[in-house]
Amino acid sequence: MSKLVIVGTVAFDAIETPFGKTDKILGGAATYIGLAASQFEVDSAIVSVVGGDFPKEYLSMLEEKGMDISALEVVEDGKTFFWSGKYHNDMNSRDTLVTELNVLADFQPVVPESYKDAEVVMLGNLHPLVQLSVIEQMKQPKLIMLDTMNFWMDNTWNDLMKVIGKVNVLTINDEEARQLTKEYSLVLAAQKIMKMGPEYVAIKKGEHGALLFYKEDIFFAPALPLEEVFDPTGAGDTFAGGFSGYLAKTGDYSFENMKNAIINGSALASFCVEKFGAEMLLKLDKEQLQHRLQQFKNLTQFDIELT
Amino acid sequence: MSKLVIVGTVAFDAIETPFGKTDKILGGAATYIGLAASQFEVDSAIVSVVGGDFPKEYLSMLEEKGMDISALEVVEDGKTFFWSGKYHNDMNSRDTLVTELNVLADFQPVVPESYKDAEVVMLGNLHPLVQLSVIEQMKQPKLIMLDTMNFWMDNTWNDLMKVIGKVNVLTINDEEARQLTKEYSLVLAAQKIMKMGPEYVAIKKGEHGALLFYKEDIFFAPALPLEEVFDPTGAGDTFAGGFSGYLAKTGDYSFENMKNAIINGSALASFCVEKFGAEMLLKLDKEQLQHRLQQFKNLTQFDIELT
């Protein structure tokens, strides 16, 4: 088993969907990534920041899930990052209502000494310079994974390019891949991204699954067809958390094992969307995950004999 | 090997895509279905109608591909069905520019005597009463498959419901499944359709693949990620042709074998979209199909050990 360093927001989210709305609940990229990765009982550390308003029971809960939170800085006189959004009826698009950076505005990440030798680094959505700073603090990571979003393409293009040039795996959604490369075809987009640095590109297509590109090869992980998607918030981060957590647990960074990793990520994401926020991930057990992985096998495995 | 009866349009199409446009070329649901099914060397008969303007060499070509065209009626003083359409830039939507029913308006299908004992019937897109008439002429088919489209929902709802009640398999695209059931979730839509009659429902999602529903089970066949989709015309019919052709060839109508059948349908559809109209299907050989099936295996097969 390898150690896993997780960077990303730890936040309050307020979410509105056609099914209901929440007050401020636990959210943030690093939260979802950490909760998903915790399914694999890896040694993981969260590098992030919250304000004095962040409930102590949330911190305890992350610790109970096995995360090292010594690098989750608490700025006592600051406020936690807050995001609020409203999903449209088809659940495939959303409007951001509020974004308050708060303590994130001046965040200087510090990787814990005992995690500088971690093999796997999962850089969740945050300012590219924060992500870059974490890479620079690591000794000799074997696998650096990056998630990002359109906001950083719009506002910090040059910094983002620097980070993308330093990572092994980029996870990104389909529209963002198109924006990043000016290519409509995801095959062509992935080829362009691989030229920017990453050997692996995972393109997330929401309810249409995810594609993993490596050299000339492509692997596809479907999304589980659900009767109802209740709240998509955090699904992409959960996918990245399952992906990176499985790789850290197995210590095998081959393309063959990456296939298993993204199936695990997709399985965890399928739980995430069943309830508001991180509710499902918080109560998920190993047996449920195994059962869902079996569903993914049933969904995709076939037996055509080739001549 | 079982016999296969194919019903559907044989037509002229004029197609415009962002990549170019065609004059009147060979098209029609039964044409695509027949060409796809011919990959499996099944005994198939085309039940359809064309006008005196339909080139004799097209008829010869269908015969050379092994199709019985004795029930492909030629109305010498009539004109062949003509459809013209223009695809939008994203290739996922299109406008119909022209639809001339011509000889289809009065078409009375007659199943050849030697095909009335066929085990498999593929009812391609046509008036539901034509589809119904073919079902009534069959002796004891083991598997009746139906493809339809929104036009018949809008204009001949009651007739369509009669046919749907008599078939084993419905293939339909995602938007049409939603229209047919008033359900947004494809899982819920498929459940409703199964209550209308079909034991199997295959929902086609274009570039996002196809879902096969049977009782509580779901199987997913991805679309092959392509650098470029040149012309989507006929892809859905090609899918249905590969699906039904493979089943007729193997004579095995179990859910397990249906999985192989829709993978074959998806593989053939992935060829169809690479060129205008039926161009790719006309020159496709067995080796190319085997190679592409291997690509589908590589795309989807993984090896997670469950505990």
Model confidence band, residue A8 (pLDDT cutoffs 50, 70, 90): very high
A182 Cα to chain B: minimum distance (Å):
14
- Kindly list the residues from chain A whose CB atom is less than 8 angstroms away from the CB atom of residue B226: 185, 187
Check CB contact under 8 Å for B226 and A260.
Answer: no
- Kindly list the residues from chain A whose CB atom is less than 8 angstroms away from the CB atom of residue B187: 225-227
Q: What are phi and psi of B39, to 5 degrees?
A: -60, -20
* Per-residue pLDDT at B91: 79
A102-158 pLDDT, tens digit each? 999 999 999 999 999 999 999 999 999 999 999 999 999 999 999 999 999 999 999
Q: Give the nearest chain A residue to B207 (CA atoms).
A: A208
Q: What are phi and psi of A265, to 5 degrees?
A: -60, -40
- The Cα A80–Cα A15 span in angstroms is 16
Check CB contact under 8 Å for B227 and A303.
Answer: no
A298 Cα to chain B: minimum distance (Å):
7
- Burial of B13-45, coded b for 16+ CB within 10 Å and e otherwise, reads bbbbbeeeebeebbbbbbbbbbbbbbbbebbbb
Nearest to B304 among A228, A263, A298 (CB): A263
- Kindly list the residues from chain B whose CB atom is less than 8 angstroms away from the CB atom of residue A260: 302-304
Nearest to B293 among A187, A297, A304 (CB): A304
- The Cα A214–Cα A19 span in angstroms is 38
Nearest to A300 among B217, B260, B300 (CB): B300
Average pLDDT, chain A: 96
- The Cα A13–Cα A21 span in angstroms is 11
- The Cα A288–Cα A267 span in angstroms is 10
- The Cα A68–Cα A37 span in angstroms is 13
Domains of chain B (ranges; CATH) run 3-300 (3.40.1190.20)
Local confidence pLDDT in tens for the 307 residues of chain B: 889 999 999 999 999 999 899 999 999 999 999 999 999 999 999 999 999 999 999 999 999 999 999 999 999 999 999 999 999 987 778 899 999 999 999 999 999 999 999 999 999 999 999 999 999 999 999 999 999 999 999 999 999 999 999 999 999 999 999 999 999 999 999 999 999 999 999 999 999 999 999 999 999 999 999 998 899 999 999 999 999 999 999 999 999 999 999 999 999 999 999 999 999 999 999 999 999 999 999 999 999 988 7
Supply angle C-alpha A282, A170, B207, rounded to 5.
Answer: 90
Classify residue A131 by its DSSP letter.
H
Check CB contact under 8 Å for B302 and A185.
Answer: no
- Kindly list the residues from chain B whose CB atom is less than 8 angstroms away from the CB atom of residue A217: 298
Check CB contact under 8 Å for A302 and B219.
Answer: yes
Q: What are residue B74's DSSP bridge partners?
A: B50
- The Cα B150–Cα B173 span in angstroms is 9
- Kindly list the residues from chain A whose CB atom is less than 8 angstroms away from the CB atom of residue B185: 226-228
A247-296 pLDDT, tens digit each? 999 999 999 999 999 999 999 999 999 999 999 999 999 999 999 999 99
Nearest to A306 among B217, B290, B299 (CB): B290
Mutant choice from A304, A305, A306, A307 vs B, greatest count of B C-beta within 10 A: A304
* Per-residue pLDDT at B61: 97
ipTM over 0.90: yes
- Kindly list the residues from chain B whose CB atom is less than 8 angstroms away from the CB atom of residue A263: 302, 304
Q: Give the nearest chain A residue to B255 (CA atoms).
A: A302
In the three-class reduction of DSSP (H, G, I as helix; E, B as strand; rest coil), residue B72 is classed as: strand
Check CB contact under 8 Å for A222 and B219.
Answer: no
Token pair in block for residue A229? 């998607």
A294 Cα to chain B: minimum distance (Å):
7
- Kindly list the residues from chain B whose CB atom is less than 8 angstroms away from the CB atom of residue A252: none
Classify residue A46 by its DSSP letter.
E
Percent of chain A with pLDDT over 70: 100
Check CB contact under 8 Å for B298 and A220.
Answer: no
CA nearest B205: which of A208, A210, A173, A178?
A208
Nearest to B260 among A260, A294, A302 (CB): A302
* Per-residue pLDDT at A1: 80
- Burial of A202-212, coded b for 16+ CB within 10 Å and e otherwise, reads bbbbbbbbbbb
B211 Cα to chain A: minimum distance (Å):
9
CA nearest B31: which of B126, B164, B105?
B126
Nearest to A222 among B184, B187, B220 (CB): B220
In the three-class reduction of DSSP (H, G, I as helix; E, B as strand; rest coil), residue A90 is classed as: coil
Mind giving me the DSSP string for B176-230? Answer: HHHHHHT-SSHHHHHHHHHHHS-SEEEEE-GGG-EEEEETTEEEEEPPPP-S---
CA nearest A306: which of B258, B289, B42, B269?
B289
Nearest to A220 among B188, B293, B299 (CB): B299
- The Cα B67–Cα B41 span in angstroms is 9
Nearest to B187 among A205, A220, A227 (CB): A227
Supply angle C-alpha A15, A19, A23, rounded to 5.
Answer: 30
B15 Cα to chain A: minimum distance (Å):
21
- Kindly list the residues from chain A whose CB atom is less than 8 angstroms away from the CB atom of residue B299: 218-220
Check CB contact under 8 Å for A290 and B303.
Answer: no
Residue A135, CA distances (Å) to A171, A197, A253, B155 in order: 17, 15, 18, 62
Q: How many CB atoms lie within 10 A of CB B67?
A: 25
Looking at per-residue confidence, does A49 or A92 come out higher? Answer: A49
Cβ distance B298 to B254 under 8 Å? no
Percent of chain A with pLDDT over 90: 94
- Kindly list the residues from chain A whose CB atom is less than 8 angstroms away from the CB atom of residue B40: none
Q: How many CB atoms lie within 10 A of CB B77?
A: 7
* Per-residue pLDDT at B1: 80
- The Cα B126–Cα B74 span in angstroms is 17
- Kindly list the residues from chain A whose CB atom is less than 8 angstroms away from the CB atom of residue B17: none
Nearest to A304 among B211, B260, B306 (CB): B260
A215 Cα to chain B: minimum distance (Å):
14
Residue with tokens 């008439």: B133
- The Cα B298–Cα B280 span in angstroms is 22
CA nearest B265: which of B286, B293, B231, B302?
B293
- The Cα B174–Cα A53 span in angstroms is 46
pTM of the predicted structure, to 2 decimals: 0.95
